[in-house]
Amino acid sequence: KKICVIGLGYIGLPTSVLLAFSGWKVTGVDINEKIVSYINKGKAHINEANINWLLQEVIVNERLIAKTTPREADVFIIAVPTPINNEFRCNLSYVVEATKSILPYLQKGNTIIIESTIPPGTTEDIVKPIIENESFEIGKDIFLAYCPERVLPGHIIEELIYNNRIVGGCTEKCGLKAKEVYNTFVKGDIFITDAKTAEMTKLVENTYRDVNIAFSNEITKVCNTLNINVYDVINFANMHPRVSILNPGPGVGGHCLAVDPYFIIEKAPNESQIISLSREINNSMPDYVVKQVDNLLKNNSNPKVAVFGITYKGNVNDLRESPAIKISNILRKKGYEVNAYDPLIKENEYNVVSLNTAIKDADILLILADHDEFKFLNYEKIAKYMNSPIIFDTKHIIDEETLSNEIQLINFGNL
């Protein structure tokens, strides 16, 4: 059976590889010619565990080939980006272009599955008419479904296999046809619903998490006003059998939590109160961190800041919507010298420097991403290279007990 996957990014490429491994003849399509030729050499342009050797395997045995245009197939999966525009609305142009790009190859009996994260109603209101316009009847000639992914960056391959999946069909038969596709490689349970419910489910999963993080950020601000250590409060509150509060942080980054809630707000702006306020609270955290830095360094004439971690979260080399980059830019605009080190970002990219260069004569060290490497550094030694031994650990990865009182260790619990 042949399948054509449109969009070879974080989702499309691992999905293509797994489909190829489970017996499909896969044509992967991407408009970026560099990515296409890279993939055909068995090289992945995304940084995911295991992806490279898996990709080499399926390229060598010709189960997968990458192209810049689609080919005829039994099934088409659309996994292209759905970025947010400057009015905080979903830019659907890539999804529309991808759908139009497969029309010349569509045949009766084909299944089309959208995996990109899209506002509720998009499959029915935007994608379906494009296909019906070619006088195909959905549910009879062509089977159209929406199937969101929920894989955790850094663990994509294993989660694509073991996570449960929701499949949203435009008709009952569309759902069944899409489920057949995922049954060939998904070991988790597959639940069928309608397209709109599936679209909303995806957004609600991430929005739930964004709201929960906003709650922990808000109680952090409250606790700091009342001189209470928020980490103790969260730790004890989570001992309640039905409470699980997430951790405060320097902001919420990534192309998921920082974006998906806006797709709900776009469709129901008057009803999405907590959702939009949570976005505001999470977006306020970079300024909240900068305010603490201002307070800590107010007596320094030309203060130097060392930053550890510029990615949007630990152990993932993705910079999209990274709060660490927002914080570094705000500090630079305010006249601070900022030198950032990140083990997952090559030196000189995004003016990242070596660890030693970053800490040299720094007046403060800001930890803004929780890379595993940062948990095992010798901060006593690091402090000796700094101008003043102040560490602001916004990710709470350093245990206060392990440091001598030479170092002023700041975190959200003791501001």
Terminal alpha carbon distance of the chain? 60
CB of 315 to ligand SAJ, least distance (A): 10
Is residue 256 annotated as part of the catalytic site, yes or no? yes
40, 56, 247, 283: which one binds ligand SAJ (CB under 6 A): 247
Q: By CB under 6 A, what part of segment 323-362 binds ligand SAJ? A: none
H-type helices in 238-378, by residue range?
260-267, 273-296, 323-333, 355-359
Query: Minimum Å distance from CB 395 to ligand SAJ?
Result: 7
Q: Following CA atoms 103, 107, 111, 114 in sequence, which dihedral angle do they give, to the nearest 10 degrees?
A: 0
Cα–Cα dist 367/412, whole Å? 12
Residues 249-278 close enough to bind ligand SAJ by CB under 6 A = 249, 252-254, 256-257
Q: Are strands 165-169 and 143-146 parallel, antiparallel or unpaired?
A: antiparallel
Q: Which stretch binds ligand SAJ (CB under 6 A): 128-136, 178-186, 202-210, 263-271?
A: 202-210
Dihedral of the alpha carbons of 13, 14, 19, 24, in degrees to the nearest 10: 30
Q: How far apart are CA 225 and CA 208, in angstroms?
A: 26
Interaxial angle between packed helices 195-225 and 273-296, expressed in degrees from 0 to 180 and rounded to the nearest 10 = 40
Distance CA 14, CA 157 (A): 6
In the complex with ligand SAJ, the residue whose CB is nearer, 238 or 354, is 238
Out of 25, 67, 71, 150, which residue is the one contacting ligand SAJ (CB under 6 A)? 150
Q: Which residue is nearest to ligand SAJ (CB)?
A: 249
Span from 135-143, 233-241, 244-252, 327-335 in contact with ligand SAJ (CB under 6 A)? 244-252
Alpha carbons 415 and 228: distance in angstroms, whole number:
9
**Closest to 113 in 3D by CA, of 73, 153, 83:** 73
Residue 221 interacts with ligand SAJ (CB under 6 A)?
no
Shortest Å distance, C-beta 388 to ligand SAJ: 27
CB 371 within 8 A of CB 309: yes
Q: Which stretch binds ligand SAJ (CB under 6 A): 19-27, 171-179, 206-214, 373-381?
A: 206-214
User: Within its chain, how far is the Cα of 82 from the centroid?
Assistant: 12
**Options 151, 305, 367, 391; binder of ligand SAJ; rule CB under 6 A:** 151
Our finding on whether 309 is near ligand SAJ (CB under 6 A) is no
Q: Binding segment for ligand SAJ among 131-139, 247-255, 261-269, 385-393 (CB under 6 A)?
A: 247-255
Q: Which of 4, 147, 256, 304 is catalytic?
A: 256
One-letter amino acid for residue 247 of the chain: N
Which listed range, 76-84, 94-102, 183-191, 241-249, lies at the site for ligand SAJ (CB under 6 A)? 241-249
| Residue 412, phi then psi, degrees to nearest 5 | -65, -10
**Residue 313 interacts with ligand SAJ (CB under 6 A): yes or no:** yes
Q: How far apart are CB 206 and ligand SAJ at their closest, in Å?
A: 5
Nearer to ligand SAJ, 119 or 254 (CB): 254
Angle 12-18-23 (CA atoms, 0-180°, nearest 5)? 125
**Minimum distance of ligand SAJ from residue 399's CB (angstroms):** 18
Under the binding rule (CB under 6 A), the answer on residue 320 touching ligand SAJ is no
SS3 (DSSP) at 138: strand
| Number of residues in contact with ligand SAJ under rule CB under 6 A | 19
Residue among 202, 267, 304, 395 flagged as catalytic: 202
The span from the CA of 171 to the CA of 125, in Å, is: 14
Residues 97-116 that bind ligand SAJ (CB under 6 A): none
Give the 3-state secondary structure of residue 54.
Answer: helix
The minimum distance between CB 8 and ligand SAJ, in angstroms, equals 16
Residue 205 engages ligand SAJ in binding (rule: CB under 6 A): yes
Tell me the CB-side half-sphere exposure of residue 271, using CA atoms within 13 A. 5
CA dihedral angle for residue 407, residue 408, residue 413, residue 414, rounded to 10 degrees: 140
Give the nearer residue to ligand SAJ in terms of CB position, either 168 or 254: 254
Smallest distance from the beta carbon of 162 to ligand SAJ, in angstroms?
12
Q: Which is nearer to ligand SAJ, 138 or 352 (CB)?
A: 352
Cα pseudo-dihedral 199, 203, 206, 207, rounded to 10: -160
**Contacting residues for 258 by C-beta, under 8 A, at least 6 apart:** 210, 252, 282, 312, 320, 321
Among residues 73, 112, 114, 213, the one that binds ligand SAJ under rule CB under 6 A:
213
> Which residues here bind ligand SAJ, judged by CB under 6 A?
149-153, 205-206, 209, 213, 246-247, 249, 252-254, 256-257, 312-313
Active site residues: 202, 256
